[in-house]
């Protein structure tokens, strides 16, 4: 019996060796597959991190742009509010000093406004003011200039009526 067991072991030895020789390549392939998967995962991590960083940068830029837009809108609104407030206070000051809006003041103010008006270049306008009624006499270069002079006079503070006797030349 001992002899039979020894022969069995002797015969089984080469068969076991053959199975062992077959196994390492399978195990090697499996190990390589696992290593490849781990490498792919390791390479994906930096790509994912870079993508996340790029998204975060884009979002931060969008947030910064929106914040700048909001500040600009608030600044524009505040500037308008201040301009309206200054205009209102100026008018209130003029009304409070009602004596300041005299015929002479109206005449002087209109003459100054006419100088800055492009439609009235090369015009000769005489402004007479009596009891806050403005009379415009003289010459202008166009109908548009005549209409513009009357509009400026009408819009001037303290003027109650405008008599337009301007002639287009």
Report the CATH number at residue 156: 3.30.70
In a domain, 40, yes or no: yes
Give the pLDDT confidence score for residue 64 in this predicted structure.
Answer: 81
Percent of the chain with pLDDT over 90: 39
- Is the same domain home to 19 and 88? yes
pLDDT at 98 over 70: no
State how far the Cα of 152 lies from the Cα of 107, in Å rounded to an integer.
12
User: Is 26 in the same domain as 81?
Assistant: yes
62 plus 114 within the same structural domain: no
Average pLDDT over residues 26-35: 59
Looking at the fold, whether 108 and 82 belong to one and the same domain comes out as: no
pLDDT band at 36 (very low <50, low <70, confident <90, very high): low
Band (pLDDT 50/70/90 cuts) for residue 7 is: very low
Give the residue with greater pLDDT, 28 vs 118. 118
> Is the confidence at residue 87, as pLDDT, over 80?
no
* Segment 56-60 mean pLDDT: 73
Question: What domain range includes position 84?
Answer: 14-96
Model pLDDT, residue 67 = 80
Domain membership flag for residue 7: no
Asked whether residue 62 is domain-assigned, the answer is: yes
| Long-range contacts of 136-145, Cβ-Cβ distance < 8 Å, separation of 24 or more | 136/162, 136/163, 136/164, 136/165, 136/166, 137/165, 137/166, 138/166, 138/167, 139/166, 139/167, 139/168, 139/169, 140/166, 140/167, 140/168, 140/169, 141/168, 141/169, 142/168, 143/168, 144/119, 145/119, 145/120
Mean pLDDT of 86-105: 70
Residues 84 and 104 in one domain: no
Model confidence at 111: pLDDT above 60: yes
Domain shared by 115 and 164, yes or no: yes
**Same structural domain for residues 81 and 136?**
no
At 48 the pLDDT is: 66
Q: Indicate the residue among 50, 72, 96 that finishes a domain.
A: 96
pLDDT tops 60 at residue 129: yes
As given in the structure block, the two tokens for residue 61 are 């830029």
Considering the domain architecture, whether residues 58 and 109 belong to the same structural domain is answered as no
Paired with 130 in beta bridges are 133
Instruction: Say how many residues make up the chain.
Output: 169
Number of domains in the chain: 2
Structure confidence at residue 79 (pLDDT) = 78
Q: Does 144 lie in the same domain as 113? A: yes
pLDDT at 153: 96
- Same-domain status, 119 and 85: no
Give dist(CA 1, CA 5) in Å, integer.
Answer: 6
**Domain-terminating residue out of 79, 96, 113:** 96
Walk across the sheet containing 133-140 and list its strands: 124-130, 133-140, 161-168
86 lies in the same domain as 112: no
Q: What is the mean pLDDT of the chain?
A: 77
Q: Are residues 91 and 111 in the same domain?
A: no
């Amino acid at each position: 019996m001992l002899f039979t067991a020894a022969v069995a072991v002797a015969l089984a030895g080469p068969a076991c060796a053959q199975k062992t020789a077959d196994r390492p390549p399978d195990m090697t392939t499996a190990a390589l597959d696992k290593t490849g998967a781990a490498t792919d995962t390791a390479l994906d991590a930096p790509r994912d991190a870079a993508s996340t960083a790029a998204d975060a940068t884009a979002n931060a830029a969008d947030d910064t742009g929106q914040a700048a837009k909001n500040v600009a809108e608030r600044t524009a609104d505040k500037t308008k509010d201040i301009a309206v407030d200054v205009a209102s206070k100026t008018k209130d000051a003029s009304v409070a000093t009602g004596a300041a809006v005299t015929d002479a003041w109206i005449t002087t103010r209109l003459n100054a406004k006419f100088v800055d008006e492009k439609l009235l270049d090369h015009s000769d306008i005489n402004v007479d003011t009596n009891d806050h009624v403005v009379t415009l006499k003289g010459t202008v270069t166009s109908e548009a200039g005549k209409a513009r002079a009357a509009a400026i006079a009408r819009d001037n503070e303290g003027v109650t009526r405008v008599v337009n006797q301007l002639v287009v030349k």
